[in-house]
């Protein structure tokens, strides 16, 4: 039997004691210490757009050296130096090829934020929860069916290690979506959810996004790998994550979805957005397509990105359709847009965000099947809605009723990251997620990854 030298034994004992003391201290103070892992997406910075109660101002960042981490640091510095409500984050940055192993070894915090290149994200999630860290991950957690079981195993490991693994579902905090969900629970207004058909689903959600966009007051610089579906993931497993989540969250609120019994795919398709080299330069600040993108380049100048996808499926017998489309740049005055309809036996709840709505999401209640009692039902239900959303009202329009929403609820997409972070902190304090969250995350990623497999096989 070999024995370690006394000095090494003392060092290891001291290290173990320090780690235990850190964990005990964290439990005693309730303070969260953030770690940011390889922040390649601006969503990592948006988690820190404002200070978070109970979160230490020192944040440890681990990343390979390069433009991605520098863009992240610059965004945090911008929040720290803004004239209105500046933050006071202190970023302790480690750059190196061994950044991931260094993070695991250092144990400098207890919550790891992941928002970046998705190629290795599922691996990072698994290894991080296996090491006993909580994880708050940007979507998608997984971009291929091959890694779905690895994500499932990560949730099992998180439960075993008593840590929380959670993804950032910002769209649950968009006010028209929240109110669509709330009105769907008013039986006298909505009735019950229709079953629908593949041709006329009961629930449809469509999302239009843009590669060229303005974030926090400046044109967003995207990493070149964002256009590589092997690293970012195809559109059908990326943004559709939000839409599949909302279908579950609105149609079966607070209920457990069993992916093996409750989900049946009907069809799926995918198609490309074509991007000229000049457009690529404008958003990446790179003069040429990198080698890893040349597989997707035609005629030496057109990049074809599989950023668009559509899924038709059944959720507990309810027909749903979700689709995402990426254009290069929005029309003047417009931005990312959302369309959603929930069809009830008494009324349809429709979110529109087109030119007629000045590109602002607007919720409408429209009669279904000639329901002549809708006005009385809405007025009777309004007090219930106003208990949760004071100030919300309705007004008569040509096709039905428009839901009038006070400006205080219209926070915008960037503010929703703080909402998710705060909800996650509440769960950490409670020591657990709601019982439906984990099975429903698993169901969501089963839907998206299996849809990608189906789309690849279909003509």
CATH superfamily of 15-168: NAD(P)-binding Rossmann-like Domain (3.40.50.720)
Q: Which of 252, 133, 109, 234 is nearest to 184 (CA)?
A: 252
* CA dihedral of residues 302, 307, 311, 315 (deg, nearest 10): 170
* Maximum C-alpha span of the chain: 86
| Percent with pLDDT over 70 in the chain | 93
CA 243 to chain centre: 10
Mean pLDDT over residues 217-223, rounded?
Answer: 82
Beta carbons within 8 Å of 444's beta carbon, 6+ residues apart: 241, 244, 245, 248
* CA dihedral of residues 404, 407, 409, 413 (deg, nearest 10): 110
Whether residue 416 contacts residue 170, with contact meaning beta carbons closer than 8 Å, is answered with: yes
Q: How many CA atoms lie within 13 A of 14 on its CB side?
A: 6
> Residue 22 is encoded by which pair of tokens?
């850190």
Q: What is the pLDDT of residues 327-343, one digit of tens each?
A: 999 877 777 889 999 99
CATH 3.40.50.300 for domain 171-415+433-457, yes or no, is no
Q: Is residue 195 scored above 90 in pLDDT? A: yes
How far is it, in rounded angstroms, from Cα 132 to Cα 154? 11
Q: Is residue 217 scored above 90 in pLDDT? A: no
Q: Is residue 11 scored above 50 in pLDDT? A: no
> Residue 143 is encoded by which pair of tokens?
């971009």
Q: Is residue 372 scored above 90 in pLDDT? A: no
State the DSSP H helix or E strand holding residue 62, giving kind and residue range, or none if neither: strand 58-63
The pLDDT assigned to 219 comes to 79
Q: Is residue 215 scored above 60 in pLDDT? A: yes
Q: Which of 356, 253, 260, 269 is nearest to 306 (CA)?
A: 269
Q: Is residue 66 scored above 90 in pLDDT? A: yes
Cβ atoms < 10 Å from Cβ of 105:
11
Whether residue 108 contacts residue 92, with contact meaning beta carbons closer than 8 Å, is answered with: yes
Burial grade of 164 (CB within 10 A; 0-12, 13-18, 19 or more):
buried
Q: Model confidence at 216, in pLDDT bands (50, 70, 90)?
A: low
Q: What phi, psi does 393 have (nearest 5°)?
A: -140, -175
pTM over 0.75: yes
Q: Model confidence at 459, in pLDDT bands (50, 70, 90)?
A: low
Q: What sign does the dihedral 212-215-220-222 (CA atoms) show?
A: negative
Domain borders along the chain are 15-168, 171-415+433-457
Mean pLDDT over residues 193-197, rounded?
Answer: 98
| Percent with pLDDT over 90 in the chain | 84
DSSP codes of every residue in 399-448: TEEEEE--GGG---HHHHHHHHHHHHHHHHHHTS--TTHHHHHHHHHHHH
Whether residue 74 contacts residue 68, with contact meaning beta carbons closer than 8 Å, is answered with: no
Q: What is the pLDDT of residues 28-48, one digit of tens each?
A: 345 899 999 999 888 999 999
């Amino acid at each position: 039997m070999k024995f370690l030298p006394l000095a090494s034994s003392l060092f290891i004992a001291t290290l173990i004691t320090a780690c235990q003391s850190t964990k005990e201290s964290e439990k005693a103070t309730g303070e969260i210490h953030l770690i940011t892992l390889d922040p390649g997406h601006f969503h990592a910075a948006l988690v820190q757009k404002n200070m978070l109660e109970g979160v230490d101002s020192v944040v440890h960042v681990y990343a390979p050296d390069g433009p991605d981490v520098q863009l992240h640091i610059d965004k945090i510095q911008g929040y720290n130096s803004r004239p209105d409500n500046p933050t006071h984050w202190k970023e302790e940055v480690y750059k190196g090829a061994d950044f991931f192993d260094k993070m695991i070894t250092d144990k400098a915090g207890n919550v790891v934020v992941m928002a970046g290149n998705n190629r290795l994200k599922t691996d990072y999630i698994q290894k991080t929860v296996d090491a006993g860290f909580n994880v708050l991950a940007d979507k998608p957690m997984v971009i291929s069916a091959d890694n779905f079981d690895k994500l499932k195993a990560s949730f099992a490991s998180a439960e075993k290690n008593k840590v929380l693994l959670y993804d950032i579902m910002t769209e649950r905090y968009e006010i028209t979506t929240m109110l669509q969900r709330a009105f769907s629970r008013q039986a006298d207004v909505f009735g019950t959810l229709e079953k629908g058909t593949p041709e006329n689903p009961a629930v449809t959600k469509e999302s239009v996004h843009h590669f060229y966009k303005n974030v926090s007051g400046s044109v967003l610089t995207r990493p070149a790998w964002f256009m590589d579906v092997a690293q970012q993931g195809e559109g059908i497993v990326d943004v559709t994550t939000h839409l599949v989540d909302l279908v579950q969250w609105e149609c079966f609120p607070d209920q457990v979805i069993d992916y093996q019994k409750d989900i049946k795919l009907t069809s799926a398709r995918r198609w490309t957005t074509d991007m000229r080299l000049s457009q690529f330069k404008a958003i990446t600040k790179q003069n040429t397509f990198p080698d890893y993108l040349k597989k997707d380049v035609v005629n030496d100048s057109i990049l074809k990105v599989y950023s668009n996808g559509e899924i038709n499926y059944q959720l507990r017998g309810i027909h749903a359709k979700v689709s995402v489309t990426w254009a290069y740049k929005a029309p003047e005055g417009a931005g990312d847009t959302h369309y959603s309809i929930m069809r009830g036996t008494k009324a349809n709840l429709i979110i529109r965000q087109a030119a007629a709505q000045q590109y602002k999401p607007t919720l409408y209640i429209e009669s279904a099947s000639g329901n002549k009692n809708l006005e009385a039902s809405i007025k009777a239900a309004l007090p219930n809605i106003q208990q949760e959303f004071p100030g919300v009202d309705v007004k008569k329009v040509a096709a039905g009723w428009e839901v009038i929403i006070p400006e205080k609820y219209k926070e915008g997409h960037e503010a929703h990251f703080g909402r998710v972070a705060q909800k996650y902190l509440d769960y950490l304090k409670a020591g657990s997620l709601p019982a439906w969250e984990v099975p429903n995350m698993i169901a969501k990623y089963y839907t998206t990854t299996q849809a990608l497999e189906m789309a690849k096989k279909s003509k």
